[in-house]
Amino acid sequence: MKEGPYITKQRIDKASLWKGKVLPLAKLDIELSERCNNNCVHCCINLPADDLQAKKKELSTDQIKNILKEAASLGCITVRFTGGEPLLREDFEELYIFARKLGLKVLIFTNATLITEYLACLFAKIPPLEKIEVTVYGMRKISYEGVTRIPGSFEAAWRGISLLLEHKIPFMVKGALLPQNKEEIDEFEKWAANIPWMDKPPSYSMFFDLRCRRDNGKNEAIKSLRITPEEGLKILTRHRERYLKEMKEFCAKFMRPSGDKPFSCGSGRGGGCVDAYGYFQPCLMLRHPDCVYNLRDGSLKDALENFFPKIRKMKSNNPEYLTHCARCFLKGLCEQCPAKSWMEHGTLDTPVEYLCAVAHTQAKFLGLLQEGEKSWEVEGWQQRIREFVEKES
Amino acid sequence: MKAKVSPDMIYAPSENVVAREVQGEFIIIPITSGVGDLEDEIFTLNETGKSIWAKLDGKKALKDVAGELSQEFEAPVEEIEKDCLGLVEELAKRRMLVEVK
């Protein structure tokens, strides 16, 4: 941070401007479309790019602009355009410029296949002020298109990435770890390290989410692509020292039983996600009918002030949840949440066995659990956390 | 390099920035590249900066801005004028303010 007599310059993500204050809406996700021009084997949200029925239901340009205007009026700083593939929308440029002129920073999640020379020039002239996030599905045509199942998508993605590099548009890359590309992980990381804006190794999705809309026909296929908890641990600990350091910091802050309220995460507090059809959700994945608010008949403000707080107060009465997740101190290691429960089981508070196994595997590696122990049965877990956090690497 | 700013000059906010007040903080967000120094930075103005910024309408000379603020804050005009020139210099070099001729 640099100080002048009248002006302070700081990176917004590091800013302490609002320290101690909860902004009504600090960050808003907008899923511009559920459609995607790729057809990835593991994806939880893609509809075909030419799904006209889905396209017809999507919010209009003016409706999205009104949402952006309200977001800015509520103090929103960053809007994330995601999807599906957000660049599929014909009005993407108009929405992007509109958001930027409202003084919003725009974070774009994309596969980069639709980045043209024109769009790259636009991003150079009117920068998003957030690094674009590009998911890369493989380093070779055979692996990439083995995942996306769209011929030509490999060349299109690499053309898009080259344009970002050429025009010096800050971006970062992420991976999705799949049987088609898992042998390329070293090559991917070596390449990613040369991208000027990558300040750490790429992250991966690997414990794949099931379909957000619970169109269960694809769920068995997605489950079959999930790596085992042990394989996941191997990936997570590839950069062992960094992993341990991060885990210590993480454990010091976030490990404790979540109690009988399944919404122990921050979802719906200071943010949320608008889906492609105008429903406002506490988070990107949670589409349970009891948790979505129709913005066509309301406002972001009403949802944030009245609807989300009610949801967050919900208590579980599921005995399985109350005897397991509610008592489990591995909260910080486990991805169990109402959204994951919704995707896996169609409820808000059913334990997700796969996530439980992933968390237990990591906890054993970190020395927080012994072989055969269950986290919800551990007495004196605070001492274990303290010892782990204070232990020399 | 500092822009040469004098009390007779007139300045207005650039069209390439948006000024927003969020939870009591006055922030300036660049819209186009070449404004500010780095693209992932925003700028906040302190109370003095905020009061001066609000008066920069592209019509009044800086000496008149200082005069108005001097009356509002009951402070010596010389001191306020120094603040005005200082702020405008800082923001003009970052292209957040433009001179109106």
Which of B40, B48, B86 has the CB atom closest to A11's CB atom? B40
Confidence of residue A306 (pLDDT cuts 50, 70, 90): very high
Which site among A2, A6, A69, A98 would you substitute to test the B interface, given the most B Cβ atoms closer than 10 Å to its Cβ? A6
Cβ A204 vs Cβ A176: under 8 Å: yes
Q: Do A125 and B52 touch (CB under 8 A)?
A: no
What's the structural domain count of chain A? 1
How confident is the model over B73-84, as a mean pLDDT?
A: 90
Question: Any chain A CB within 8 A of the CB of B47?
Answer: no
Which site among B2, B40, B48, B91 would you substitute to test the A interface, given the most A Cβ atoms closer than 10 Å to its Cβ? B40
In a domain, A60, yes or no: yes
Least Cα separation, residue B25 to chain A (angstroms): 7
Which site among B41, B56, B87 would you substitute to test the A interface, given the most A Cβ atoms closer than 10 Å to its Cβ? B41
Q: Do B44 and A124 touch (CB under 8 A)?
A: no
- Given a cut of 90, whether residue A230 has pLDDT beyond it is yes
Residues facing B43 on adjacent strands: A9, B28
In a domain, B1, yes or no: no
The verdict on ipTM greater than 0.90 is no
Residues facing B81 on adjacent strands: none
Confidence of residue A10 (pLDDT cuts 50, 70, 90): low
Cβ neighbours, 10 Å, residue A138: 24
- Given a cut of 80, whether residue A209 has pLDDT beyond it is yes
In a domain, B5, yes or no: no
- Given a cut of 80, whether residue A119 has pLDDT beyond it is yes
In a domain, B23, yes or no: yes
Cβ A326 vs Cβ A316: under 8 Å: yes
How confident is the model over B1-20, as a mean pLDDT?
A: 88
- Given a cut of 90, whether residue A265 has pLDDT beyond it is no
CATH assignment at residue A104? 3.20.20.70
Residue B2 is predicted with a pLDDT of 56
Least Cα separation, residue A198 to chain B (angstroms): 14
Cβ-proximal residues to A375 (8 Å cutoff; 6+ apart), any chain: A328, A329, A330, A359, A360, A363, A368, A369, A381
Cβ neighbours, 10 Å, residue A91: 14
Report the amino acid identity of residue A356: C
- What are the b/e assignments for B10-46, b being 16+ CB within 10 Å? bbebbebbbbbebeebbbbbbbeeebbeebbbbbbbb
- CA A348/CA A316 separation, integer angstroms: 8
Which of B18, B39, B90 has the CB atom closest to A4's CB atom? B90
Report the chain A residue with the minimal C-alpha distance to residue B16: A101
- CA A40/CA A222 separation, integer angstroms: 10
CATH assignment at residue B91? 1.10.10.1150
Which domain, by its residues, includes B95?
A: 11-99
Which of A7, A75, A131 has the CB atom closest to B45's CB atom? A7
Within 65-94 of A, beta carbons closer than 8 Å to B belong to 72, 75, 77
How confident is the model over A337-363, as a mean pLDDT?
A: 95
Confidence of residue B40 (pLDDT cuts 50, 70, 90): low
In a domain, A266, yes or no: no
Q: Give the residue from A55, A79, A84, A54 showing the smallest Cα distance to A67.
A: A79
In a domain, B78, yes or no: yes
How confident is the model over A129-137, as a mean pLDDT?
A: 96
What's the structural domain count of chain B? 1
Cβ A27 vs Cβ A195: under 8 Å: no
Q: Give the residue from A301, A264, A310 showing the smallest Cα distance to A24.
A: A301
Give the up-direction half-sphere exposure of residue A11: CA atoms within 13 A in the CB hemisphere: 6
Question: Any chain A CB within 8 A of the CB of B36?
Answer: yes
A171-176 and A204-205 strand pairing: parallel
How confident is the model over A59-77, as a mean pLDDT?
A: 97
Average pLDDT of chain B to the nearest whole number: 88
B27 vs B1, higher pLDDT: B27
- Crossing angle for the helix pair A92-101 and A117-125, to the nearest 10 degrees: 0
Note the pLDDT tens digit of each residue in A267-296: 888 899 999 999 999 999 999 999 999 999
How confident is the model over A228-250, as a mean pLDDT?
A: 92
What letter would DSSP give residue A95?
Answer: H
In chain A, % of residues over pLDDT 90: 85
Residue B47 is predicted with a pLDDT of 86
Least Cα separation, residue A225 to chain B (angstroms): 37
In a domain, B42, yes or no: yes
- CA A247/CA A251 separation, integer angstroms: 6
Which domain, by its residues, includes A52?
A: 22-244
Q: Which of A1-10, A112-121, A152-161 has the lowest mean pLDDT?
A: A1-10
Q: Do A129 and B39 touch (CB under 8 A)?
A: yes
Residue A1 is predicted with a pLDDT of 38
Least Cα separation, residue A34 to chain B (angstroms): 28
Structure tokens at A85: 């593939």
How confident is the model over B70-87, as a mean pLDDT?
A: 91
- Given a cut of 80, whether residue A19 has pLDDT beyond it is no
Structure tokens at A355: 């996530």
Report the chain A residue with the minimal C-alpha distance to residue B53: A6
Cβ A336 vs Cβ A355: under 8 Å: yes
- CA A67/CA A274 separation, integer angstroms: 9
